[in-house]
Structure 1
């Protein structure tokens, strides 16, 4: 596995208002740390307990130095009592990484005099001061809790924090302009910079030159052997593997030579209209292999698709894919294989498809084939390189972070599943079911002008993604609203 994902080092700092006992906040912090490490150390590592309880600005600077020395890149500000408005928000401002605020619930009705902390009230003032200073901070849905409850809230913050850290050191490398008939994937790059993401746009000719220079690379046989092992009996086009290995090495070397000051990389690649005739293959399988290694590669120079894939990779810590929201499920197939067996109407279902860019580990079976759509107008020999098979059944999350034509950030997220139903079709493809998909398709995807590509994470991660998009400042976040909850554009009659 290539190291293309941030490693999280969480720290927690308790804060205390000067007219409240500091020991109350510090003792409560210790209980949170004990609860967190007991429940989540194996998942996210131990949380660093900062020994300084912040009561004033001097304490704040001391705590910052201790956090820095401990290598913390994400911070929990814990209101063990009411908390000092200025120092606690300056702490968030100067930390320089993702920050969450969480507050202590009162512990017992038998100690509501000296043992009362009023953090419920303090969270209100903290949120007001964060807004005054234009500081982004994550505040949970209900941010007041016991030690165990606060530990759970911090665990929910962890994948969000990883994503924010990753975006702040991400470079997206693209090759070529968007194909003429896929302008839908075109979007202004201004919002990438606003997110902290760098973008390097290259010519396809530069990539082709680099590919030619890798001809005869001594590492090619080793990569071919890896591919043969992965494909197994699905290796139906063995003659194309050396070229695919050459291309994989070209991309991996390009990443290392061009990451520059950034720690993480995603790629927006091109596969047509001239790629296959000049390179002699299609890059789908290589795209899937790099994505499985932790370097997401989008198709059709979809820059915001690559961005979304990277977010999904970091949040899920798993392989993702990028699919067309492609075609409806035929009514006869629905009647035969879905109706009465699964709790979905026909309009809740659709087929998610791409030519062959989904990793082998996310397919129920796979075969190396040629790109059937391209081969309708080109020689089959130059369209080889797709990885075909039905996508594994199970829970999925569809999502996308997108800039509009006028450079506004929008996002959507919807949870559903891939059904264990044979697709009877070609490509990397699955039958998806999302509750109220028909309405979501019309009033979010069409109404908000989203392109046809959706990032797909394998599991349910909508809660984290929704919170992440809010943290990033996205105001328009679409989701598949339940029946009875009307979209703004939905006709109530």
Structure 2
């Protein structure tokens, strides 16, 4: 017996998610008419409990899990452990309209794969395509058990120029952790002893209230001056709700204050939901402004993500950015790197930078632009498969319009970019990767050798 269920988060476009679920379910039932499932989108703990009860009462041999939007991995991991049957996660690309990221399904797949693989569960997955025959073949491969199981293709990274002079040093760094990672974000886990002993990084724990308290003390004149500066390089700031805009700028100055007070080099910040729900603004713009100053700010209290960006900053003396991979297009041989709006202004494609509000939470300040064209180095200090390692790739930002509101870039990884994306997911890579402009891959590999940390690429 084949089973099915679908996950969603209500802050995304639930109506669109329902349509994706309906179409995928119809395809499944055309191939396996006896398939049974939980027919409501699972958006909360109550739904999750009902779904788990359903499948315990109706045992299935294999289960399709439709990842219709981004969600955390809490239910997915618990479900996989409780049911203990083969799972195929199905995710959904979406049109690159330049508007709201309506689903962010592929990022949900990425996060879920990392969590399951870290817990010794290896699911199959399908990224839906426009060609229904391809989708049909992918579904049948899981149903019949004939899908090819590839060996992990990550390989040890080697320096391409062995005669290069790696003239750089990275001093001991200090990361400020503001708040704790959201529940179900196993991608943001870290081992504090490992971080301090193997990565030469000190950690200072702070609370969100510490940031809010600092922000509340910022003088009105200071905010006014910063507002004038920001409005000089971002279009449309006059259209924002000014009280919320001011609050967002006060967060920026609050981060500056905490940096100076604790002598910090970078941050990992629990950026949502509390900055929206308790303080009343988005933290994306302020974090982008700090990123421009080469003070990395990682979302979702992702400590290893923040360290990844900080290493790039130190090594390249240029801003870096932590992004989600949110779309893939096989016909175009491209991916999309995106985040809500925290790319530093120097990464903007000329003439595209404007201010924005968060697509789900509807508050400012966000940067809203397409990333400029250029060669990039992609990097992650990773705990894929529960092992501390470096992951490195070269890529290129293609000259394209903004794919989704916020800050995004269309990315080529060279030949067969979609296959490389799938190999990243199969290896359990986290849902955040860092990048910087230019090719510093040899320097990173050399750094991994210095630090005695296994370093991989594709």
TM-score, normalised with respect to structure 1: 0.56
Q: 1:234 to 1:424 in 2, by over 3 A?
A: farther
User: Which one of the candidate residues 412, 417, 439 is aligned to 2:396?
Assistant: 417
Q: Distance in 2 between matches of 1:236 and 1:181?
A: 36
Q: Distance in 2 between matches of 1:465 and 1:227?
A: 33
Match of 1:326 in 2: 326
Shift of residue 246 of structure 1? 1.3
**Cα deviation digits, residues 246-271 of structure 1 (max 9, x gap):** 11111111111112xxxx51011122
Shift of residue 319 of structure 1? 1.4
Q: 1:187 to 1:318 in 2, by over 3 A?
A: same
Shift of residue 438 of structure 1? 3.3
Shift of residue 330 of structure 1? 7.1
Shift of residue 296 of structure 1? 1.0
Contact persistence 2:371–2:402 (CA under 8 A): no
Match of 1:287 in 2: 287
Q: Distance in 1 between matches of 2:259 and 2:385?
A: 29
Q: Distance in 2 between matches of 1:388 and 1:140?
A: 36
Match of 2:91 in 1: none
Please list every run of 5 or more consecutive structure 2 residues that lacks an aligned counterpart in the other structure.
1-158
Match of 1:212 in 2: 216
Shift of residue 390 of structure 1? 0.8
1:178 aligns with 2:181: yes
Q: Distance in 1 between matches of 2:392 and 2:446?
A: 11
Shift of residue 321 of structure 1? 1.0
Shift of residue 189 of structure 1? 2.2
Pick the structure with greater CA Rg.
1
Q: Distance in 1 between matches of 2:330 and 2:383?
A: 33
Please list every run of 5 or more consecutive structure 1 residues that lacks an aligned counterpart in the other structure.
1-138, 144-152, 335-345, 481-493
Q: Distance in 1 between matches of 2:425 and 2:229?
A: 41
Find runs of 4+ consecutive structure 1 residues off by over 6 angstroms.
none
Q: Distance in 1 between matches of 2:162 and 2:408?
A: 39
Q: Secondary structure at the match of 1:251?
A: helix
Match of 1:486 in 2: none
Q: 1:256 to 1:354 in 2, by over 3 A?
A: same
Higher relative contact order (CA 8 A, sep 6+): 2
Contact persistence 1:236–1:369 (CA under 8 A): no
Q: Distance in 1 between matches of 2:320 and 2:379?
A: 11
Q: Distance in 2 between matches of 1:142 and 1:434?
A: 23
User: Which one of the candidate residues 431, 443, 458 is aligned to 1:464?
Assistant: 443
Contact persistence 2:403–2:410 (CA under 8 A): no
Q: Distance in 2 between matches of 1:273 and 1:223?
A: 25
Contact persistence 2:234–2:355 (CA under 8 A): yes
Match of 2:374 in 1: 394
**Cα deviation digits, residues 345-392 of structure 1 (max 9, x gap):** x2xx210000000012211112211111x23xxxx3xx2211111111
Aligned residue pairs total 296
Q: Secondary structure at the match of 1:456?
A: strand
Root-mean-square deviation (CA, aligned residues, Å) is: 2.3
Q: Secondary structure at the match of 1:173?
A: strand
